[in-house]
Structure 1
């Protein structure tokens, strides 16, 4: 039978199933639903949004809906009825409402695991977040600076020095993956880390996709990569457990050891192996994917922004002058990189690594005069406020001064949401800042670059990716003497 016919029959069958399910789940409330349409069964508006993301028109796609229906509208995304909310007030509602539970699309749940921290609530979420926060508290982060410094220098020596051209995105992904896997999971360089890095190249491919497991789809590739990565992490978990039992590791050794050490009042483990593996999957993605995107797009921006480049180079030259060339960076040095971090925040505003995310209504709930029925998804997107000209004048212009103390106070609360907000604000935000600042310090001190592609575009699939991975012409730079 022809493959296209098979796929068509499957789609019809799923459509019928969707109709039966949605009728069975028809909300009992009598309130006013938001304007809009749920679209075709199962598919809804998912394909339209994904096409817009891949064509780099997703912000326009969102704005067109806002222009048509207002800041609150209903649609169907990834097989579930959804309410799109936009604007600072909507962001605050999404991040702080106790009636909204964190929920990712079914595709994300299947790939990252049913018990990952993004899905957990209540005591389970607090325990796992607490374990993550313990490893990311300031006194621990101080200890990480030197190890990140060494990893960045090694990476630049091996993969950048002496090269006429490099492709930035894959190199940044490997650098940040090596850093996070070393610091949070104790993975030294070698075959295991290489295998895990290979799997994570494809784990995110199908996270925003219609969750139909068919051959040759991005969703199937993600499922296979996820299964392979989970086997590796499960092996690491068992090895760490054995080390703890032999006294060769402690709760503070790494994140896996900490999660394994969590016990209840009777001394029984609080987390199953599945929960630990799921948490590790999310942590690996959060710890390397977003930072690598930020670094890549900053390199892209600085290639054609000589004024910002010169100001940042001066900032880093001054830091070296105060301590001597060749010395590793310290926590105190990072505090002096104020302009560099403002530039990073501005890049996060313009190209947020996470386009948007989902919540789930745990009960019928009202917002702006409309009812969001229990069980429906709520979708928020950073671009709705990040690119709002009434909040950030000339939003398409790269302007780090927006994030100076005085300027930042002008924007309404919950306008800048690159790291989220509220109880689920990114627990690794400070770690990402350290990783970014250390990497930029050595890149700016050692190299200059030009873009190889005249067409300076990018797509979202679902994370932003520049054309061809951002190939650049590279030249060694003689840094200013201290």
Structure 2
């Protein structure tokens, strides 16, 4: 037998045997949700991943809901899982003390055991507090002009003078540059370029069957993560040296702040390895979601002339009386309301985060069923966002759903693009700023049309339009 085949059989067979032994030792409790756990280790993972990559994931989830109801059991990424859907389920996931954050093994291996998505309790509160220092209103006001400068430079270098561009990779690079500059103090240059290249591959395998074999997405992501971790480790050591020399302070950037966290005896609260994990999680959370949002805004506007015209008018009004080249301000962004409602409707229709996982830290109940201790709980955004009882005519694009004067707004925990509860996205306002600033410059300088007649996308695990969304662009006549 060839060695690679033997290793593959061992890699698959050993977890299966352990899984069976564990089941024999720990019989299942009664009153489990309906459904099946499928094959050991594999479960429904492959079917789910195929649906994600064929743009049928929402249908795949809805088929389960139609078959089993809003609560069902399955196995995803090597662990028994309970799928829950609907506003009540979202509220349960966001607020229940019986659940704690725990990502699938693939996520923990790639992002690190102490990544931001994994922290709970006092650890999460401490790190969220550190993030809040850099995302509070006073800091966000300062970021507007810096983000404006990054966007102008990006547009000049990557859009101006071109007839075609591929949107998604450009948006990913823009948002990556913004967050690494503002939160990590990483200036333009080869180090930032290398880190950006690695992060393109890190996300590819976070939702995958965690079998470390050659040529798999999981293996590619592990290798990219290792390279990114070495880069971040060097940045952390350099920042630490600057703090010791007095060349940096706690408020210089997020890494300096995390290095400065200490107890009453001045003992650091975090190791450098933990800071690397948190940095990786923050970078992914901070740039991938915003880049997907802006890409799908551009995609939608190519075929929605009415919404496009209203947005262009709004942005033209904002700069009336300004000198050409004058940067946007915090007060300017407060006037750009319709564009943000368009962004929220995009997030409803195509949520960047398909769903997320928690774990039961004790036996608990929901919907009349038992969720055993240690099982994953998986919630999704799409089923709720496309529920006609919550959002009438859900397939219709309608930004007015998010006007403040709605007579019958959707109930709490219906719109969950930013999560909810104590762990609601800390960077929501930051994302609003970079989205509005970016769309301002693109809308006022360009008009575009899609190159591909087939207007589809896949999830891997973030939404990705066909070929990265190539578009033809031309300069817009200034009003």
8 Å contact 1:103–1:359 — kept in the other structure? yes
Quote the residue 2:158 is aligned against.
Answer: 159
1:377 CA drift (Å):
0.4
1:236 equivalent to 2:235? Answer yes
Aligned positions, number: 478
Other-structure match for 2:17: 16
Question: Would you say the 8 A contact 1:402–1:408 is kept in 2?
Answer: no
Alignment-derived partner of residue 66 in structure 2:
67
1:400-453 C-alpha deviation (Å, 9 max, x unpaired): 111111338521110000000000001011100001000000000000001000
- Structure 1 residues 296-335: Cα deviation after superposition (integer angstroms, max 9, x where no partner): 0000000000000000000000001143432100001111
Corresponding residue of 1:388: 387
Q: Secondary structure at the match of 1:430?
A: helix
- Is this contact kept in 2: 1:136–1:428, CA < 8 A? yes
**Superposition map of 1:261-300 within 5 A:** 261-300=260-299
CA positional deviation for 1:24: 3.1
CA deviation profile, 1:254-307 (whole Å, cap 9, x unmatched):
000000000001111011111111110011111110000000000000000000
SS across alignment from 1:371: strand
Could you tell me the TM-score, scaled by structure 1's length? 0.97
| Structure 2: runs of 5 or more not aligned | none
Question: Higher mean Cα deviation, 316-325 or 469-478?
Answer: 316-325
Equivalent residue number for residue 213 of structure 2: 214
Is the 8 Å Cα contact of residues 451 and 473 (structure 1) preserved in structure 2? yes
Q: Indicate the SS of the match to 2:455.
A: coil
Range 12-21 or range 245-254, more displaced: 12-21
Q: How does 1:74-89 map to 2 (within 5 A)?
A: 74-89=73-88
SS of corresponding position for 2:237: helix
Counterpart in the other structure of 1:42: 41
Matched, 1:363 2:352: no
Please give the per-residue CA displacement for 1:173-226, whole angstroms capped at 9, x wherever unaligned: 000000000000001100110010010010001000011110000000000000
Deviations 1:33-60 (A, max 9, x none): 1011000100000111100011101111
Deviations 1:328-374 (A, max 9, x none): 00001111110000000000001111100000001000111111011
Give the distance between the partners of 1:201 and 1:320, measured in 2 at CA: 35
Alignment of 1:187-336 (within 5 A): 187-336=186-335
The secondary structure found in structure 2 opposite 1:205 is helix
Structure-to-structure mapping, 1:332-347, within 5 angstroms: 332-347=331-346
Q: In structure 2, how many angstroms separate the alpha carbons of the residues matched to 1:11 and 1:358?
A: 23
In structure 2, distance between residues paired with 1:324 and 1:284: 34
Q: For 1:54 and 1:21, how far apart are their aligned partners in 2?
A: 32
- Contact map agreement 1:173 1:289 (CA 8 A) in 2: yes
The match for 2:461 is 462
Offset of residue 122 of structure 1: 1.4
Distance 1:368 1:407 in 2: 30
Q: 1:25 to 1:144 in 2, by over 3 A?
A: farther
Report the 3-state secondary structure (helix = DSSP H, G, I; strand = E; otherwise coil) of the residue aligned with 2:73: strand
TM-score w.r.t. structure 2 length?
A: 0.98
CA–CA distance in structure 2, aligned partners of residues 80 and 407 of structure 1:
42
The whole-number CA distance in structure 2 between the counterparts of 1:73 and 1:298 is: 34
Does the Cα contact within 8 Å between 2:401 and 2:409 map onto a contact in 1?
no
User: Conserved in 2, the CA contact under 8 Å of 1:160 and 1:166?
Assistant: yes
- The aligned counterpart of 2:429 is 430
- 2:452 matched residue in structure 1: 453
Q: Is the 8 A contact 1:303 1:449 kept in 2?
A: yes
1:283 alignment partner, SS class = helix
How far the C-alpha of 1:4 sits from its partner, in A, is: 5.4
Partners of 2:105 and 2:240 in 1: CA distance: 31
Q: CA RMSD in A?
A: 1.2
Classify 1:180/1:409 alpha carbon distance in 2 versus 1 (closer, same or farther; 3 Å): farther
- Counterpart CA distance in 1 for 2:45 and 2:293 is 26
Task: Specify the SS of the correspondent of 2:46.
Answer: helix
For the 8 Å contact 1:230–1:277, the answer to whether it is kept is yes
CA positional deviation for 1:252: 0.3
Structure 1: which 5+ residue stretches go unaligned?
A: none
Question: Matched residues in 1 for 2:192 and 2:118: separation?
Answer: 27
Q: Deviations over 1:123-180 (max 9, x none)?
A: 1111111000111001000000000000000000000000010000000000000000
Deviation per CA, 1:14-41: give whole Å up to 9, x if none. 32222123333445xx441101100010
- CA drift at 1:67: 0.5
Tell me the SS of whatever aligns to 1:115. Answer: coil
1:408 & 1:239 partners in 2: Cα distance? Answer: 54
